[in-house]
Amino acid sequence: MCRECGRKQRRDYKKNLPPEVKRRWHKRDDNRRRERLATDPDFRQRTKDKDHDRYIRRKDRLRARRKRLEKERPFLLRSNKTIHEHRKKGFKIEITMRELEMLMNAAPIKCAFCSEPFETDLWRSRTVDRIDNVAVLSASTIRIICYRCNTMKGNMKDVEFIEKCRKIAENMTNV
């Protein structure tokens, strides 16, 4: 319903508007919704119930989609999680999810550090290792290694990690 003339508007009236007007309307609607959520407990509860109902209706469909994706494109979910976690930690992301997925698919079948083959279990799965732990995630600053080596390496540089492994090996031979 138009506020100025009182005429009923078509459902698709927003589709024909310029993008800047749409953004302004969405921003105004979001602000109103936030204010109402903060001040009206009944609206907050109705919204919560409605969101929960929508989740329940979509839950099975979402689980089926995730299982299908795990079979068809196993590294897509891993790539998404990797990029999301690095963004949360404040890293600059210069690689797309698709590029990261392609890197994981194209990775050799063995880990670069331990030369053991990648598998589907957690300890032998493919993970992203940042070379020299720079604050930028790009195709030139990462490599794919197994989860176990990545966990052991932590935030050490390659030289530090190799030296640490050498010391452990020397210590174990003396025991």
pLDDT tens for 94-123 read: 988 888 888 888 878 888 888 888 887 777
Same domain? For 98 and 57 the reply is no
Same domain? For 65 and 82 the reply is no
pTM for the structure as a whole: 0.58
Same domain? For 163 and 93 the reply is yes
**pLDDT score recorded for residue 167:** 92
Return the structure tokens found at 142.
């990462």
Domain limits at 117? 74-174
**Is residue 9 in some structural domain?**
no
Same domain? For 87 and 162 the reply is yes
Same domain? For 119 and 63 the reply is no
Give the integer Cα–Cα distance in Å for 53 and 35.
23
Question: Which residue in 60, 62, 55, 58 sits closest to 77, CA to CA?
Answer: 62
**Is residue 109 in some structural domain?**
yes
Number of domains in the chain: 2
Question: Which residue in 171, 142, 165, 141 sits closest to 152, CA to CA?
Answer: 165
Same domain? For 101 and 27 the reply is no
Same domain? For 118 and 158 the reply is yes
Same domain? For 64 and 78 the reply is no
**pLDDT score recorded for residue 125:** 84
**Is residue 139 in some structural domain?**
yes
Give the integer Cα–Cα distance in Å for 149 and 165.
11
Same domain? For 89 and 114 the reply is yes
Average pLDDT over residues 36-43: 88
